[in-house]
């Protein structure tokens, strides 16, 4: 049943909308500025995938000591870390963090069901959510009792995520940071040292070291850096065996050591062949690689050893023969 517009009463904040909703109840003392929080009346969707999926509470008819209100629903969703709150069918409260709450469509005239035991406002409708952001536009959770909405965020699309102020579509012009709140004019841009205005980037940069190693390989530090160590400024690379650090370019990275050119190979390696991260050997006839030494030297084969032994025996026999003949 559609209710007629309620007339504003004392101690009640009322903002007329095209849907005729009264957004704040005198029960909650209207401490929340609903004009910054009301998002609209949206179809709730089906059972398996609702516009707001997390049920916070449902007040039953026999619970005569309970009353529903939009600000009460907002408060409960904020306590549990959600960004959006919505009342439905007069007695229910739902929460969520998804920004696509409008995927089933919007209606300006479908959220007209009176809040249960609260004649001062409406709480959604049949299969329609009356949806609010937990914090006013540009605000998110601060320290202290939840929700207090003390901190500011500066997103391209508001509201920001309630818990940490992150933005779904990036920062507005002139702002940067996880919560888009870095600006030289606000808390020194959250810089420890000097904050430098950069008109090209439309925000500020901190005159201090940036830890590239906390970032992403191939983005914040070289992909050929085996282990990253932060320095001020820049970073250094820890390189694995067979590699050395190369600082000849603008950024540090690890390059292969050519052991063959540097003579860094075993004396029993007949011909040195460089490999990425190491080297191997090409052996002469009757020699093979010593696999116990990571293929970095040559050792004689059994056939080779027997050939040498036979040659030695034959030489010794011939020598004895010539000695006897001379006697």
Per-residue pLDDT tens digits for 47-78: 888 999 999 999 998 999 999 999 899 989 98
Q: What does the domain layout of the chain look like in residue ranges? A: 26-134, 150-208, 212-256, 266-327
- Torsional sign, CA 62, 67, 70, 71: negative
Closest CA to 70 of 100, 34, 41: 34
pTM, rounded to two decimals? 0.46
Q: Tens digits of per-residue pLDDT, 109-142?
A: 899 999 999 988 999 999 999 999 888 878 887 6
Whether the Cβ atoms of residue 106 and residue 43 lie closer than 8 Å to each other: yes
Could you tell me which residues come within 8 angstroms of residue 145 by beta carbon, excluding any fewer than 6 positions away? none
Q: What is the pLDDT of residue 9?
A: 33
Counting every residue written for the chain, the total comes to 327
């Amino acid at each position: 049943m559609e209710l007629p517009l309620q007339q504003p009463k004392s101690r009640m904040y009322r903002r007329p909308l095209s849907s005729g909703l009264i957004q704040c109840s005198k029960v909650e003392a209207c401490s929340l500025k609903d004009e910054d929080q009301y998002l609209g009346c949206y179809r709730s969707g089906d059972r398996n995938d609702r516009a707001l999926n997390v049920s916070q509470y449902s007040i039953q008819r026999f619970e005569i000591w309970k009353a529903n209100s939009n600000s009460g629903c907002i408060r409960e969703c904020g306590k549990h870390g959600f960004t959006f709150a919505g009342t439905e069918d007069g007695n229910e409260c739902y929460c969520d963090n998804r920004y696509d709450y409008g995927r089933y469509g919007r209606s300006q005239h479908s959220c007209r069901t009176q809040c249960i035991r609260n004649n001062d406002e409406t709480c959604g409708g049949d299969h329609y959510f009356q949806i609010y952001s937990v914090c006013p536009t540009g605000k998110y959770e601060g320290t202290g009792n939840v929700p207090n909405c003390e901190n500011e965020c500066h997103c391209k699309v508001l509201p920001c995520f309630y818990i940490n102020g992150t933005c779904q579509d990036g920062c507005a012009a002139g702002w940067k940071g996880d919560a888009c709140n870095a600006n030289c004019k606000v808390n020194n841009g959250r810089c420890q040292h000097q904050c430098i205005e950069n008109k090209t980037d439309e925000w500020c940069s901190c005159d201090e070291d940036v830890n590239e190693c906390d970032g992403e390989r191939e983005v914040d530090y070289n992909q050929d850096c085996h282990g990253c160590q932060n320095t001020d400024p820049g970073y250094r690379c820890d390189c694995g065996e067979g590699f050395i650090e190369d600082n000849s370019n603008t950024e540090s990275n690890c390059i292969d050591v050519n052991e063959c050119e540097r003579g860094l190979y075993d004396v029993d390696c007949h011909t040195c062949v460089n490999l990425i991260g190491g080297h191997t050997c090409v052996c002469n006839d009757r020699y093979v690689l010593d696999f116990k030494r990571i293929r970095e030297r040559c050792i004689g084969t059994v056939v080779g050893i027997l050939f040498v032994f036979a040659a030695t025996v034959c030489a010794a026999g011939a020598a004895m023969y010539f000695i006897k003949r001379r006697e």
